Homo-oligomer: A and B are copies of this chain.
Amino acid sequence: MEHKKIYLAGPEVFLREAVEIADRKKAICAAHGLRGLFPLDAGLDLSGLEPQAAGLAIYEANIELIEAADACIANVTPFRGPSLDPGTAYEIGHLRGLGKPVFAYSNAAGDFAQRTRAFCGVGGERDGEGLLIEDFGLTDNLMIDGAVFQAGYGIEQQADDAGFAGLAAFEICVRRAAVVLGV
B residues within 8 A CB of A84? Answer: 86
Among listed A20-28, A29-37, A91-99, A168-176, interface-contacting one: A91-99
The answer to whether the Cβ of A161 comes within 8 Å of any Cβ in the partner chain is no
B87, A86: Cβ atoms closer than 8 Å: no
The answer to whether the Cβ of A8 comes within 8 Å of any Cβ in the partner chain is no
- The answer to whether A52 and B116 touch (CB under 8 A), given A14-B132, A83-B86, A97-B96, is no
B residues within 8 A CB of A50? Answer: 137
How many chain A residues sit at the interface, stated as a range, is 35 or more
- The answer to whether A144 and B97 touch (CB under 8 A), given A54-B136, A80-B127, is no
- The answer to whether A94 and B91 touch (CB under 8 A), given A51-B135, A59-B143, A59-B147, is no
Smallest beta-carbon distance A6→chain B, Å: 17
CA–CA, A52 to B92, complex, Å?
A: 20
Name A's B-contacting residues (CB within 8 A).
11, 13-16, 50-52, 54-56, 58-60, 62-63, 79-87, 89-99, 116, 119-120, 126-127, 129-132, 134-138, 140-147, 149, 163-164
